[in-house]
């Protein structure tokens, strides 16, 4: 059983990393990053079976793909805190000659990254392909992926949803960050996603709803439940209701923090709300 | 070297060369997988599909997803060959190729049939003439345009051993099969098909045979034409171009592609930066095609044997 307190201490430090990285870069996307901390910490520190000696092929280990690449700060922080590279490198985020590109990239060979993302809507196809190769290779490990909800407006997601169900890709657990916000405003104002649960179900996916994606025990429980549905001929999706900007009171549930970094005062305010548990980079 | 015998050549589809090579690869390479977007038959993949159903994935009419799935399948060591018509495998999915294949530098082989005007009666919506330009602009991408059945088959077998993204472009109709059977394909190496001293013709794809025809017609006028089959557009065999133009002093390029962005531009770049020399470009003149037979279209849009002859005669006046 996972040590919830331990995971929550990691989460607090990851949130500090996120606000400090975006402040340091004077750019980046803190909102979605903060909202997905519990999910990412759960995956990397409890749920996934991964190796810290990184290989691109990732054989005999679980894989993770980030489709909504703009929330790279949370991924970079979790990868560093998990030991894939030095936490000191987090200070280079979005700066010249860095391996920590604004959006995840493979060209700089940052351990943990297996696919470039940023142009939205491509990650579900990629994760599906990686899952197919695991199946062909007789590798029983799983593939996880994370997607924004606004990103589902890209039609390629639904091509991938059709493909994964048709080809019975049942070693894939996709999660949607269902925070209801996108750059221009609430998703139901910009382009209503409708009944996501019914849509994925209609496409042939096993669909789970995670009511509170910022409640660590519930996130863990849902991911563990999802794992029990693998190997049954259907891809699996978790619709995760999370709060953009969670953990920083002036950012939470406000789409304006999608892609704006905190200034000096706002950083100090944010850090005062987040305990330093593992040491800042 | 022996002259290409214009009388004796059988006609075969380049796409059949691709399909036959895939069947052979399937037998010897367990790591090869094939994807298509509802065009497996058109890509002549029936033998692969029949014998290796576990390594064949139909994506339906959804090319963007197919390219993404192919990129993902490389992770874990598979070598995906993603197939469709050239129009749907380049322009339609450019951003997917750019991010998930080229920028991510994944070992995906994009194999496209029905390129250019010779697709014929389906008309301009399907006759892509911009794909070579689109693909050669992408960093990490290798671009190959073989000339006939034999060379398409050889190129298909060669790219499996090349680590990195490849765009392999071939066509629909039966065309003369004149390259030596069984000759291996070297990526980035041009082939001199006919030696000459007055003018260099650099051609790719279906225009290689047209260029040989033009050269043999001009031999009767005592014009000595060197014909180079430039099957790899990127990386371009600059050495072969320079070696030839140092001898001949002028160049004609010939391609089934738009004037802009293709082989002509690539060769012009070499000439302007390394060895300035007159060049004429045989290509489609910044226009879309239309319905018609391949022969009618090549004649109407200025990429037929007489057009190569005219370009040679013109460039000779500029030396």
User: Where along chain B do its domains lie?
Assistant: 11-176, 191-313
User: Rounded to an integer, what distance in angstroms lies between the CA atom of residue B294 and that of residue B203?
Assistant: 18
Rounded CA gap, B67 and B165, in Å?
11
In sequence order, what are the beta bridge partners of A64? A144
Angstroms from B242 CA to nearest CA on chain A: 33
Regarding the domain delimited by B191-313, which CATH topology (the fold level of the hierarchy) does it fall under? Rossmann fold (3.40.50)
> Distances in Å between the alpha carbon of A190 and those of A29, A187, B164, B207, B240?
19, 5, 39, 50, 56
**Who among A119, A128, A167 is closest to B72 (CB)?**
A128
Beta bridge partners of B234: B143
A228 to chain B, minimum CA–CA distance in Å?
A: 24
Please, is B43 exposed, middle or buried when counting C-beta atoms within 10 Å of its C-beta (0-12, 13-18, 19+)?
Answer: buried
Q: Please, what is the average pLDDT of chain B?
A: 97
Show which of residues 115-144 on chain A sit within 8 Å of chain B, judged by CB atoms: 115-119, 122-134, 136-137, 139
A51 touches chain B (CB under 8 A): no
Q: What is the 8-class DSSP label of residue A11?
A: H
Residues of B acting as catalytic residues: 63
Q: What b-and-e string marks burial along A232-264, b requiring 16 or more CB atoms within 10 Å of the CB?
A: eebbbbbbbbbbbbbbbeebbeebebbebbbee
Closest listed residue to residue A123, CA positions, set A86, A193, A75: A75
Query: For B170-222, what is each residue's pLDDT tens digit?
Result: 999 999 999 999 999 999 999 999 999 999 999 999 999 999 999 999 999 99
For residue A57, which residues of chain B lie inside 8 Å, CB to CB? 75-77
pLDDT of residue A58: 98
Helix (H) and strand (E) counts in chain B: 11, 14
Contacts of B70 in chain A (CB under 8 A): 129
Residue-wise pLDDT for B121-153, tens only, equals: 999 999 999 999 999 999 999 999 999 999 999
3-state secondary structure of A236: strand
Assigned token pair, A169: 């890709």
pLDDT score recorded for residue B2: 54
Among A65, A128, A136, beta carbon nearest to B69: A128
Asked if A132 lies within 8 A of B72 by C-beta distance, the reply is yes
CA A19 to chain centroid, in Å, comes to 16
**Phi (first) and psi of residue B140, to 5 degrees:** 75, -10
CA A34 to centroid of chain Cα atoms: 10
Check residue B89 and give its pLDDT: 98
Q: Does A147 touch chain B (CB under 8 A)?
A: no
Query: For residue B43, which of B65, B59, B27 has the smallest C-alpha distance?
Result: B59
CA distance A247 to A174: 24
Residue B211 · residue B251 · CB < 8 Å: no
A167 to chain B, any CB pair closer than 8 A? The answer is yes
The CA distance from A93 to the nearest CA of chain B, in Å, is: 19
Q: Which residue ranges make up each domain of chain A?
A: 4-272
Tokens read off for A121: 């809507």
- Chain B: closest CA distance from residue A252 (Å): 31
CA–CA distance, B253 with B263 (Å, rounded to integer): 7
Give the chain B residue nearest A137 (alpha carbons).
B76
> What is the C-alpha radius of gyration for chain A, rounded to an integer number of angstroms?
17
> In chain B, where do the E strands start and end?
11-13, 32-36, 56-58, 79-85, 109-113, 142-144, 166-169, 174-176, 191-194, 199-203, 225-229, 232-234, 251-258, 279-284
Please write the tens of the pLDDT for every residue from B9-40: 799 999 999 999 999 999 999 999 999 999 99
- Closest CA–CA distance from residue B80 to any residue of chain A (Å): 10
* DSSP per-residue letters across B220-239: TTT--EEEEE--EEETT-HH
Give me the residue label for tokens 């997601």. A157
pLDDT of B4: 77
How much is the pLDDT for A167? 98
- For A188-211, the DSSP string reads HHHS----HHHHHHHTT-EEEEES
pLDDT at B6: 76
8-state DSSP, B183: P
A14 touches A246 (CB < 8 A): no
21-80 of B, contacting A, C-beta below 8 A: 33, 54-55, 57, 59-60, 62, 64-78, 80
Q: Which two tokens stand for residue B236?
A: 């371009």
Give the pLDDT band (50/70/90) at residue B5. Answer: confident
Q: Which CATH superfamily is domain A4-272 in?
A: Thiamin diphosphate (ThDP)-binding fold, Pyr/PP domains (3.40.50.970)
Do the Cβ atoms of B68 and A129 come within 8 Å?
Answer: yes
pLDDT over threshold 60, residue B53: yes
Residue B68 has its nearest CB partner, among A57, A136, A156, at: A156
* CA–CA gap between residue A44 and residue B100 (Å, rounded): 23
Nearest Cα neighbor of A160 from B65, B62, B36 is B65
**Interface pTM (ipTM) of the complex?**
0.97
For B58-84, give the DSSP string.
E--S-HHHHHHHHHHHTTTT-EEEEEE
* pLDDT tens for chain A, residues 1 to 281: 689 999 999 999 999 999 999 999 999 999 999 999 999 999 999 999 999 999 999 999 999 999 999 999 999 999 999 999 999 999 999 999 999 999 999 999 999 999 999 999 999 999 999 999 999 999 999 999 999 999 999 999 999 999 999 999 999 999 999 999 999 999 999 999 999 999 999 999 999 999 999 999 999 999 999 999 999 999 999 999 999 999 999 999 998 999 999 999 999 999 999 999 999 99
Question: Is it true that domain B11-176 has CATH number 3.40.50.300?
Answer: no
Q: How far apart are CA B93 and CA B70, in angstroms?
A: 13
Tally the C-alpha atoms within 13 A of residue B166's C-alpha that lie toward its C-beta. 28
Does any CB of chain A come closer than 8 Å to the CB of residue B278? no
User: Are the Cβ atoms of A129 and B72 closer than 8 angstroms?
Assistant: yes
Q: Given this model, what pLDDT does residue B237 score?
A: 98
Do the domains spanning B11-176 and B191-313 agree at the CATH topology level?
A: yes
């Amino acid at each position: 059983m996972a040590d919830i307190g331990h995971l929550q201490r990691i989460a607090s430090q990851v949130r500090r990393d996120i606000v400090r990285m975006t402040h340091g870069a004077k750019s980046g996307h803190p909102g979605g990053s903060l909202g997905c901390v519990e999910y990412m910490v759960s995956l990397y520190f409890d749920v996934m079976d991964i190796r810290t000696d990184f290989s691109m092929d990732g054989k005999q280990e679980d894989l993770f793909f980030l489709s909504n690449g703009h929330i790279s700060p949370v991924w970079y922080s979790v990868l560093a805190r998990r030991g894939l590279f030095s936490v000191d490198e987090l200070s280079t985020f979005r700066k010249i000659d860095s391996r920590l590109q604004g959006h995840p990239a493979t060209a700089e060979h940052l351990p943990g990254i297996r696919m470039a993302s940023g142009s939205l809507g491509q990650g579900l196809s990629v994760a599906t392909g990686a899952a197919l190769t695991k199946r062909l290779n007789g590798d029983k490990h799983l593939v996880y992926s994370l997607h924004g909800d606004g990103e589902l407006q890209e039609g390629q997601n639904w091509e991938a949803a059709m493909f994964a169900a048709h080809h019975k890709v049942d070693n894939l657990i996709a999660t949607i960050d269902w925070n209801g916000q996108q750059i221009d405003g609430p998703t139901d104002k910009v382009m209503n996603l409708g009944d996501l649960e019914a849509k994925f179900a209609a496409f042939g996916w096993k669909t789970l709803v995670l009511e509170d994606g910022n409640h660590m025990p519930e996130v863990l429980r849902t991911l563990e439940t999802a794992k029990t549905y693998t190997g049954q001929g259907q891809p699996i999706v978790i619709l995760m209701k999370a709060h953009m900007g969670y953990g920083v009171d002036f950012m939470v549930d406000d789409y304006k923090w999608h892609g704006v970094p905190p200034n000096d005062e706002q950083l100090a305010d944010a850090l005062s709300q987040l305990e330093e548990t593992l040491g800042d980079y | 070297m022996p002259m290409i015998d214009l009388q004796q050549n059988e006609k075969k589809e380049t796409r059949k060369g691709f399909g036959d090579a895939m069947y052979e690869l399937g037998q010897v390479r367990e790591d090869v997988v094939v994807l298509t977007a509802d065009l497996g038959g058109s890509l002549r993949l029936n033998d692969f599909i029949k014998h290796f159903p576990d390594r064949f994935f139909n994506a339906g009419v959804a090319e963007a997803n197919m390219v993404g799935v192919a990129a993902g399948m490389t992770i874990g060591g598979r070598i995906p060959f993603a197939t469709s018509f050239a129009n749907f495998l380049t322009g339609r999915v450019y951003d997917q190729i750019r991010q998930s294949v080229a920028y991510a530098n994944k070992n995906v082989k994009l194999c496209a049939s029905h390129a250019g005007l010779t697709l014929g009666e389906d008309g301009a919506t399907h006759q892509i003439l911009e794909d070579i330009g689109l693909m050669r602009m992408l960093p990490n991408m290798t671009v190959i345009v073989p000339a006939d059945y034999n060379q398409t088959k050889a190129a298909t077998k060669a790219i499996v051993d090349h680590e990195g993204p490849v765009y392999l472009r071939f066509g629909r109709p039966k065309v003369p099969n004149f390259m030596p059977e069984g000759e291996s394909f070297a990526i980035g190496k041009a082939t001199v098909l006919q030696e000459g001293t007055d003018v260099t013709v650099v051609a790719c794809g279906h225009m290689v045979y047209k260029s040989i025809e033009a050269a043999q017609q001009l031999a009767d006028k005592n014009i000595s034409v060197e014909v180079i089959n430039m099957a790899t557009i990127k990386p371009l065999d600059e050495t072969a171009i320079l070696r030839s133009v140092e001898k001949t002093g002028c160049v004609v390029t010939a391609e089934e592609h738009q004037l802009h962005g293709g082989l002509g531009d690539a060769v012009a770049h070499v000439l302007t930066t390394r060895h300035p020399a007159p060049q004429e470009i045989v290509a489609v003149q910044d226009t879309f095609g239309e319905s018609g037979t391949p022969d009618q279209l090549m004649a109407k849009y200025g990429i037929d044997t007489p057009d190569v002859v005219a370009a040679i005669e013109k460039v000779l006046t500029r030396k």
